[in-house]
Amino acid sequence: MAYVLNTKTNLATIYTTFKGVAWINYNRFLINRPIHTSNEEVNIDWYRKRKVKKQHRRCPEEYLLKLELKRYVNSTIRTYVHFFEHFINQYPHIDLQTINESHIQAYLLLLIR
């Protein structure tokens, strides 16, 4: 996913770049106003300050920063953090960097069953 400022120049660049390659419905690009104006401020300090059990693995800071940068609402962040931590705590003795596709598939099968 990429974010581009909503300007006439950027719209022209997108249209020129993808002309003949992809169909673009750019009706929403022409509206230069926020879609949601009542979103609460993104704040994930609640996550960093919360107390957890000693053996519980927390989401990596990089994951939290990604959620902040994407400007997800707090309820979405809570959900994503909850389920990501549920996943990584299924493999408490495996380094996060070594979790692979087979671990993900096994976890998904566990959820299905």
Domain edges within the chain: 1-33, 39-112
Query: Per-residue confidence at 15, pLDDT binned at 50, 70, 90?
Result: confident
This prediction has a pTM of 0.59
pLDDT per residue as tens digits for the range 56-96: 898 888 998 888 888 888 888 889 999 999 999 999 999 99
CA 99, CA 48: separation in Å to the nearest integer?
Answer: 23
* Stretch 14-37: mean pLDDT: 70
Tokens 């300090």 belong to which residue?
A: 45
CA 96, CA 103: separation in Å to the nearest integer?
Answer: 11
Query: Per-residue confidence at 8, pLDDT binned at 50, 70, 90?
Result: confident
Measured in degrees and rounded to the nearest 5, phi and psi for residue 9 equal: -65, -45
Q: What percent of the chain has pLDDT over 70?
A: 85
CA 87, CA 98: separation in Å to the nearest integer?
Answer: 14
Q: Which residues contact 95 (CB under 8 A, 6 or more apart)?
A: none
pLDDT number for residue 33 = 54
